[in-house]
Amino acid sequence: MFDRLEIFALASARAQHAAARQAVVAQNIANSDTPGYRAQDVSDFAETWRALQSRAQEAGDHIPLRSIDAGTPASPNGNTVSLELEMLRGIEAQRAHSRALQIYGSAMSILRTSIGR
Amino acid sequence: MTDFSSALGVAASGMRSQADRIRHVSENIANADTPGYRRKIVSFEAMRGTEAPLGAVQPGRVALDRSALPEVFDPGHPMADETGHYLGSNVDLVVELADAREAQRSYEANLRVFDQVRQMSSSLSDLLRR
């Protein structure tokens, strides 16, 4: 019953996805004044999770991520970063990350309770 | 964890670049009345080098504004020619102030990201503490 605990895999993949997304947001914001830079985003978690499921037993600590163009309109110097949108994405990633960690932590405390500690 | 450290490095590179930019703005403003001074322009580019984290930014080479220097009429000026004109600087204070404000805004955005990443990584290490 406890040989594969799906919830831990799910929560940890979600946290990794949020961390990767935050790294992309950091890149976009750092390049918000670089001429010709195109804003990027990562594929959403549903797609990432499906890809992770399909290569189930494969070892590897990196989760499969596809970087996509954010598709925002370009400013005159060819830069497509919108600071407001990136702020929003950063906060989304932060919330998703803390949610995943909370789920991980409470699943862990259920396990601890079940063994009487 | 590598995502966090690279994100911190990238945000720090953004802050460094914006700080460099605002330094050039302050040089321009300080020299707004220097005769013959040409406004310095700095543009950003992707950071090169093997050590650089992916997506980091760095200020590029400093360029000088090629627009014409204004002729100022002041016959008493030591640099005035026989018609009483001398060449001023092509610094436009309004443009410099707008540039400074934009640099400040971008710097704050980078700082916000830095703080978010720091919070995320500290909440991750909180898991170990329970």
Instruction: Supply the Cα-derived Rg of chain B in whole angstroms.
Output: 21
Q: Taking the model in full, what pTM does it have?
A: 0.84
| B101 — pLDDT class (breaks 50, 70, 90) | very high
B114 CB neighbours in chain A (<8 A) are 26
**How does pLDDT run across A10-58, given as a tens digit for each residue?**
898 899 999 999 999 999 999 999 998 888 888 888 888 888 887 765 5
Is the pLDDT at A61 greater than 60? The verdict is no
- CA-CA-CA-CA torsion for B108, B114, B116, B120, nearest 10 degrees? 180
Rounded Cα distance between A21 and B7, Å, is 10
Rounded Cα distance between A13 and B3, Å, is 13
Is the pLDDT at A95 greater than 70? The verdict is yes
Mean pLDDT of chain A: 85
Partner B contacted by A14 (CB < 8 A): no
Partner B contacted by A78 (CB < 8 A): no
CA distance B27 to chain A (A): 20
CA distance A41 to chain B (A): 13
Structure tokens at B12: 């720090």
Instruction: Give ipTM to 2 decimals.
Output: 0.82
Q: Average of pLDDT values for A89-111? A: 92
Rounded Cα distance between B52 and B29, Å, is 32
Residue B14 to residue A32, Cβ atoms within 8 A: yes
Rounded Cα distance between A112 and B47, Å, is 47
CA distance A57 to chain B (A): 22
Is the pLDDT at A62 greater than 80? The verdict is no
Partner B contacted by A41 (CB < 8 A): no
Residue B11 to residue A33, Cβ atoms within 8 A: no
**How does pLDDT run across B24-83, given as a tens digit for each residue?**
999 999 999 999 999 999 999 988 887 778 889 999 999 999 888 988 898 888 888 889
Rounded Cα distance between B41 and A77, Å, is 14
Report strand pairing: B40-46 vs A67-69. unpaired
**Minimum mean pLDDT range among A61-65, A89-93, A96-100:** A61-65
